[in-house]
Amino acid sequence: MTELASRLDDVAQRFDAAVDRANDEQALESVRVAYLGRNGEVTTVRRAIGTLAHNERPAAGKLINDAVAAMERRLQAAYEELESRSFDAELATSIDVTFPSIRRPAGSIHPVRRIIEESCAYFVRHGFAVVIGAEVEPDYYNFDALNIPNDHPAREGFDSFWISDTLLLRPHTSPMQIRTMQEHRPPIAIVAPGKCFRRDAVDARHLFQFHQVEGLLVAEGIHFAHLKGMLTGLCRELFGEQQNVRFRPSYFPFTEPSAEVDTTCPKCKGAGTLKSSPMGCNMCGGSGWIELGGAGMVHPNVLREVGYDPDRYSGWAFGFGVERLGLARYEVDDIRRFTKSDPGFLAQLS
């Protein structure tokens, strides 16, 4: 045993010296093979156990195993030291640790969602409540209660998505106006955002699935000037003070009088023409205006339907397409870009 311990001590000393001389991983690997490999020096010492008495062999095996464990720890420490020195050298020569770190890509609120939130926030500040409803509604809430006659084109299959004889995907969020008025007495002040569905041909200004923000105010003494003031304020907030807004006469079965609300075309800036296209702006059709939606005073028949006295109460309502608002808000010339999920486009608008 004494001779075995002496041999192991000699091997360990030479092993430590060889590790100290090694200056790269290849050299360390050579040391490992020479001393701890299958035919290394430790293996030669281990074979000497066979010459010992049986009662001495367990202690000899433990002595050798302890020596091997110590050598492996020394080797691992040498590997780690080499790796650390290599990393420090790389930092010193090729990396400036004072540079800012690489930013991880981060998502953002979709521009359509942002417009919905900002539009609703504008009305909430003015005392309106936000109401949310189902996307599938009976025809009563979509048409009958809104004073839309049975022969109106919107009821036909080519304009609306019918699920059954009486159920359809809502073409507007107006059902929430009827439901709210049926459940509450005036004054009523709500804004109703949500998805809508119409059989429109998809082009630069139309989608068959789009988002809408509708508003309703019913109380005593409400008149058209209130409507114009609120909608002009909304457009100024979303688009800036420089954006023009106009109200032009129109017709809707559920409002009287009615108006279409337009804002300056973001592509031609209201000029109607482009330097690159003498034929006229292809976004606004040369008019210089983009339609946002409809508005008007709530029709007396709608008030009667929900049990309000039209001689006592009056109100106004409006409905804006959110993607249409996005065209003017972000100066985008094609409404379809809001549905493409293009990371570059969305990052630019964020």
**Out of 112-121, 218-227, 237-246, 266-275, which region has the weakest mean confidence (pLDDT)?**
266-275
End-to-end CA distance of the chain: 77
Label residue 261 by pLDDT band (50, 70, 90). Answer: very high
Q: Distance between alpha carbon 187 and the CA centroid of its chain, in Å?
A: 36
pLDDT tens-place string over residues 86-141: 777 776 666 666 778 777 777 788 899 999 999 999 999 999 999 999 999 999 99
pTM of the model: 0.66
- Residue 276: per-residue pLDDT: 62
Instruction: Find, among 216, 224, 228, the residue nearest to 306 by Cα.
Output: 216
Structure letter (DSSP) for residue 263: E
* Rounded mean pLDDT, 279-287: 74
> What domains are defined for the chain?
2-94 (no CATH), 111-349 (3.30.930.10)
Peptide linkage before 257 cis (omega within 30 of 0) = yes
- Residue 158: per-residue pLDDT: 54
* Rounded mean pLDDT, 266-271: 74
Tell me how many helices (H) and strands (E) the chain has.
Answer: 11, 9
Arithmetic mean of pLDDT over the chain: 84
Residue 340 has pLDDT above 80, yes or no: yes
- Residue 21: per-residue pLDDT: 82
